[in-house]
Amino acid sequence: MTTTQGAPVAELRGAFRRYPGVVALDGVDFSVQPGEVRAVLGKNGAGKSTLIRLLTGAETPDEGIVLLGGEPFREQGGGRTREATRRGLRAVYQELSLVPSMSIAENMFLGAWRRRGGMLDHAAMVVETHHALHRLGLDLDPHLPVSALSPAARQMVEIARAFLGTPRLVILDEPTSSLAAAEVDQVCSAVRAAADQGVAVLYVSHRMNEIRRLADSATVLRDGRIISTLPVAEARTEDIVQMMLGRVAQAQRVEPRTGGQPLLSVRALSLPPKLANVSFELRAGEVLGIAGLLGSGRTELLESILGLRKPEAGTILVDGASVPRRSYKGMIRRGFGYTPESRKEDGIIPLLGVDENTVITDFRRVDRAGVLSGDAIARVTRTIIDRLHVKTAATSTPVVTLSGGNQQKVVIGRWIHARSRILLLDEPTRGVDVEAKRQIYDIIRSLAREGRAILFVSSEIEELDQVCDRVLVLRQGCMAEEHQAPDIDAERLLAACLG
In a domain, 103, yes or no: yes
Strands 262-271 and 313-318, sheet pairing: antiparallel
pLDDT score for 370: 83
pLDDT mean over 347-373: 90
> In whole angstroms, what is the distance from residue 261 CA to residue 266 CA?
14
**Pair 89, 69: CB distance under 8 Å:** no
In a domain, 72, yes or no: yes
Q: Are residues 175 and 273 in the same domain?
A: no
Q: Are residues 126 and 190 in the same domain?
A: yes
**Pair 477, 274: CB distance under 8 Å:** yes
In a domain, 250, yes or no: no
Q: Are residues 75 and 202 in the same domain?
A: yes
Using alpha carbons, select from 91, 207, 86 the residue that is nearest to residue 158. 91
Segment 91-114, tens digit of pLDDT: 988 777 889 999 999 999 987 888
Q: Are residues 466 and 427 in the same domain?
A: yes
Asked if residue 231 has a cis previous peptide bond (ω within 30° of 0), the answer is: no
> In whole angstroms, what is the distance from residue 454 CA to residue 310 CA?
22
In a domain, 2, yes or no: no
pTM of the model: 0.65
In a domain, 254, yes or no: no
Q: Are residues 174 and 306 in the same domain?
A: no
User: What sign does the CA torsion over 96, 101, 103, 108 have?
Assistant: negative
Number of domains in the chain: 2
> In whole angstroms, what is the distance from residue 197 CA to residue 186 CA?
17
Q: Which of 245, 280, 313 is a domain's end point?
A: 245
Phi, psi of 32 (to 5 degrees): -135, 140
Domain that residue 403 falls in? 262-498
Q: Which of 199, 215, 245 is a domain's end point?
A: 245
Segment 447-497, tens digit of pLDDT: 999 999 999 998 778 789 889 999 999 987 889 889 998 888 877 887 787
pLDDT mean over 55-84: 92
Highest mean pLDDT among 86-90, 204-208, 242-246, 291-295: 86-90
Neighbour tally for 216: CB within 10 Å? 16
Worst-scoring range by mean pLDDT, 201-215, 236-250, 316-330, 390-404? 236-250
Q: Are residues 60 and 193 in the same domain?
A: yes
Q: Are residues 309 and 455 in the same domain?
A: yes
In a domain, 228, yes or no: yes
pLDDT score for 333: 94
> In whole angstroms, what is the distance from residue 337 CA to residue 423 CA?
5
> In whole angstroms, what is the distance from residue 232 CA to residue 205 CA?
14
Whether 66 shows a pLDDT value over 70: the answer reads yes
What CATH number does residue 355 fall under?
3.40.50.300
Q: Are residues 184 and 277 in the same domain?
A: no
In a domain, 29, yes or no: yes
Segment 278-328, tens digit of pLDDT: 999 999 999 999 998 766 788 899 999 999 999 999 999 999 999 988 999
**Pair 175, 162: CB distance under 8 Å:** no
Q: Are residues 395 and 312 in the same domain?
A: yes
**Pair 289, 454: CB distance under 8 Å:** no
Instruction: Give the dihedral of Cα atoms 133, 137, 141, 146; nearest 10 deg.
Output: -70
pLDDT score for 407: 92
pLDDT score for 185: 84
Q: Are residues 199 and 266 in the same domain?
A: no
260-264: Cβ within 8 A, 24+ apart: 260/284, 260/285, 260/286, 260/451, 261/319, 261/320, 262/317, 262/320, 263/318, 263/319, 263/335, 263/421, 263/422, 263/453, 264/305, 264/316, 264/317, 264/318, 264/422, 264/453, 264/455
Q: What is the 3-state secondary structure (H, E, C) of the chain?
A: CCCCCCCCCEEEEEEEEEECCEEEEEEEEEEECCCCEEEEECCCCCCHHHHHHHHHCCCCCCEEEEEECCEECCCCCCHHHHHHHHCCEEEECCCCCCCCCCEHHHHHCCCCCCEECCEECHHHHHHHHHHHHHHCCCCCCCCCEHHHCCHHHHHHHHHHHHCCCCCCEEEEECCCCCCCHHHHHHHHHHHHHHHHCCCEEEEECCCHHHHHHHCCEEEEEECCEEEEEEEHHHCCHHHHHHHHHCCCCCCCCCCCCCCCCEEEEEEEEEECCCEEEEEEEEECCCEEEEECCCCCCHHHHHHHHHCCCCCCEEEEEECCEECCCCCHHHHHHCCEEEECCCHHHHHCCCCCEHHHHHHCCCCHHHEECCEECHHHHHHHHHHHHHHHCCCCCCCCCEHHHCCHHHHHHHHHHHHHHCCCCEEEEECCCCCCCHHHHHHHHHHHHHHHHCCCEEEEEECCHHHHHHCCCEEEEEECCEEEEEEECCCCCHHHHHHHHHC
Where does the pLDDT of residue 250 fall: very low under 50, low under 70, confident under 90, or very high at 90 and above? low
Q: Are residues 280 and 334 in the same domain?
A: yes
**Pair 293, 268: CB distance under 8 Å:** no
Tell me the pLDDT of the chain averaged across its residues: 88
User: What sign does the CA torsion over 287, 291, 294, 300 have?
Assistant: negative
Whether 143 shows a pLDDT value over 90: the answer reads yes
Q: Are residues 241 and 267 in the same domain?
A: no
In a domain, 359, yes or no: yes
Q: Which of 245, 279, 312 is a domain's end point?
A: 245
